[in-house]
Amino acid sequence: MTPTPRDIVAELRQGRLIRLADETGVSLACDPGHAEAVEHLLDVRKDLVPAPLPTILITDSGQLNLYVRPVPDVAWDLIDFAETPLTVLLSNGVNLPEAFRAQVPVRKTLSEPVRKLIGAFGRGLLTLPFEDAEWPVGLAKPPVSWGELPAKIQLPRIMELGPKGEVAFLRK
């Protein structure tokens, strides 16, 4: 049986990790507000080389103020008008575990199934993006998955945005 967004949301709220597929490849995802799930996700990250950048996945800039305050003015437009995957590193995280408060990587998903899931969940997802169509060798796959891989994976650009709008590209 194919899970519904409601089924996946129930799994996330119980602290389970899910396998997520979108335009950047496969990811491991959890509820960023569930401390044990976040700890588990970060434990998985420790064993991976190179270690993926944990990223908050959102549907639009309206969800930015759930995770960052204050939001630099330019961040709203960067998130809303991104037509290709773009991860923006912002400072001053809120409503997140301590490990993410200094710098919050945020990316708007372009995948419609993932947008529907995040909409049903009501907040962003904390993901560990593997940026590949293949699941990492040796890592157990979660029993629950959501989303679809595109024909071609797109690596996200990664930029750091300072509190006054200063921009630095870490990956173009």
Give pLDDT tens digits for 92-127.
888 888 877 889 999 999 999 999 999 999 999 999
- The contacts of residue 81 (CB under 8 Å, 6+ apart) are none
Does position 65 have pLDDT exceeding 70, yes or no? yes
Q: How many CB atoms lie within 10 A of CB 62?
A: 11
* Predicted pLDDT at 23: 97
Q: Which residues contact 162 (CB under 8 A, 6 or more apart)?
A: 72, 91, 168
pLDDT surpasses 80 at 165:
no
Question: For residue 148, what is the domain's CATH number?
Answer: 3.90.870.10
Confidence of residue 16 (pLDDT cuts 50, 70, 90): very high
Which pLDDT band holds residue 1 (cuts at 50, 70, 90)?
Answer: low
Share of the chain above pLDDT 90, in %: 78
* pLDDT above 80 for 164: no
Query: How many independent structural domains does the chain possess?
Result: 1
Query: What pLDDT is recorded for position 111?
Result: 96
Q: What is the pLDDT of residue 84?
A: 95
Residue 120 has what pLDDT? Answer: 96
pLDDT tens digits for range 70-100: 888 889 999 999 999 999 999 888 888 887 7
Residue 136 predicted with pLDDT over 70: yes
CA 56 – CA 149 distance, rounded (Å): 19
For residue 92, what are the contacts with CB-CB under 8 A and spacing of at least 6?
68, 69, 70, 101, 104, 163
Mean pLDDT of 61-69: 92
What is the extent of the structural domain holding 132? 5-171
Whether the Cβ atoms of residue 170 and residue 149 lie closer than 8 Å to each other: no
